[in-house]
Amino acid sequence: MTVNQTLSNFSDVAFQSAFVIYVLALVLSLVYYGRMQGVIDARRALARAEQKELVAVGDGGSTVVDDAPDLSEVEKLEAGANKFGGMTQAMVWLGIIVHSVSAVLRGLATNRFPFGNLYEYVLVTTAFIMIGAALVIQRKEWRIVWPWLLVPILALLFFGGTKLYADSAPVVPALQSHWLPIHVSIVSSGASLGVLSGIASLLYLLRIWQPQGKEHGIFGAIAKPLPSAKKLDGMAYRTAILTLPVFGLGIVLGAIWAEAAWGRFWGWDPKETVSLISWVLYAAYLHARATAGWRDWKAAWINIAALATTIFNLFFINMVVSGLHSYAGLN
């Protein structure tokens, strides 16, 4: 099987371009984050001023708060912040398009699906995560979480592009199967949703530690623009509901492929085992969310444990142990 080196080179250029675009999106999202902190401070100052005026009127007197902003100033601040939020969203979608082009060109260059090594796996899985995040983050109130998603995605892309990069080449015989795109794409989609759910649970824990209106210290300043704990917990729960069946289907399809390739459905291979552990943790999280006494921070910690095992299994397990899934040339 020949490799189209021209398409492979274009894929590499698109990968690098997507990385730069995501960096610009991160910068814009951080500006938006900072602007929204100012907007929230102004809203609260206005609310306090209005409350003082109501109290003064009730007492038969009057009061004027000189340093409190008026409503028009708050709206102007919010409009200015939302411009950066809109630019962040547009830049993210541009990055996703270029990111996806890189994956498609990599596949076309080798005449196969781009799942042949760990670099391609990072390339495609991070694209799935970004697509899922962009679809979930549609409303303005959720744009504030982009820095929390872009930082780990950029770290993974940098690591994949520098330490895991592999030249375009045909896959090993064990991967020359129609099950490859089916199994890997489904299990990666499920895991991507799980990553989003886990990040939402992390932010939920930060928010319940720093409740709205009662933030304090540096972590309070960081948490200030975030949505309410209820909304963050709701996002984590809804994405986990999708994660469980999609990720589970990917595991089942992998078992079917394993029986065809290796003559057994299950062999406790490291990647198989950690996948099962992750799936059980997602099931435990959903069960905890429906159990009295476990619905708050206790359930969130289970989801974060699932996030940790999922990320380890997606990107790092092949660097630690060898197994039947070790096709990345690392061990």
Per-residue pLDDT tens for 86-106? 999 999 999 999 999 999 999
Q: Is position 49 within any domain?
A: no
Q: Is position 157 within any domain?
A: no
Q: Report pLDDT for 330.
A: 46
Q: CB of 305 within 8 A of CB of 281?
A: yes
Given pLDDT bands bounded at 50, 70 and 90, which one contains residue 112? confident
Q: Is position 314 within any domain?
A: yes
Q: Report pLDDT for 140.
A: 83
Q: Report pLDDT for 2.
A: 79
Q: How far apart are CA 311 and CA 278, in angstroms?
A: 10
Given pLDDT bands bounded at 50, 70 and 90, which one contains residue 45? confident
> Mean pLDDT lowest for which of 111-115, 142-146, 318-322?
318-322
Tokens representing 170? Answer: 């045909």
Q: What are phi and psi of 264, to 5 degrees?
A: -150, 150
- Section 205-215 average pLDDT: 90
What one-character DSSP code corresponds to residue 225?
T
Q: Which of 316, 309, 16, 308 is nearest to 158 (CA)?
A: 16
Q: How far apart are CA 112 and CA 261, in angstroms?
A: 19
Q: How far apart are CA 322 and CA 328, in angstroms?
A: 10
Mean pLDDT of the chain: 86
Number of domains in the chain: 1
Q: How far apart are CA 9 and CA 33, in angstroms?
A: 36
Given pLDDT bands bounded at 50, 70 and 90, which one contains residue 158? very high
Q: How far apart are CA 317 and CA 311, in angstroms?
A: 9
Q: Report pLDDT for 331.
A: 43
* Amino acid in the structure at residue 137: I
Q: Is position 162 within any domain?
A: no
Q: Is position 243 within any domain?
A: yes
Q: Report pLDDT for 81.
A: 87
Q: CB of 289 within 8 A of CB of 222?
A: no
Structural domain range at position 274: 172-331
- Section 235-244 average pLDDT: 94
Q: What are phi and psi of 168, to 5 degrees?
A: -60, 130
- Section 41-63 average pLDDT: 68
Most confident of 47-56, 64-73, 266-275: 266-275
Q: Is position 204 within any domain?
A: yes
What one-character DSSP code corresponds to residue 254?
H
- Section 261-265 average pLDDT: 79
Gyration radius from the chain CA atoms: 23
Q: Report pLDDT for 252.
A: 92
Q: Report pLDDT for 54.
A: 64
Q: Which of 151, 120, 149 is nearest to 15 (CA)?
A: 120
Q: Is position 1 within any domain?
A: no
Q: CB of 278 within 8 A of CB of 304?
A: no
- Section 2-13 average pLDDT: 91
Q: Is position 242 within any domain?
A: yes
Quote helix, strand, coil % in the chain, to nearest 5. 75, 0, 25
Q: Could you tell me the maximum CA-CA distance found in the chain, to the nearest angstrom?
A: 88
CA distances (Å), origin 166, targets 109, 181, 282 = 13, 19, 33
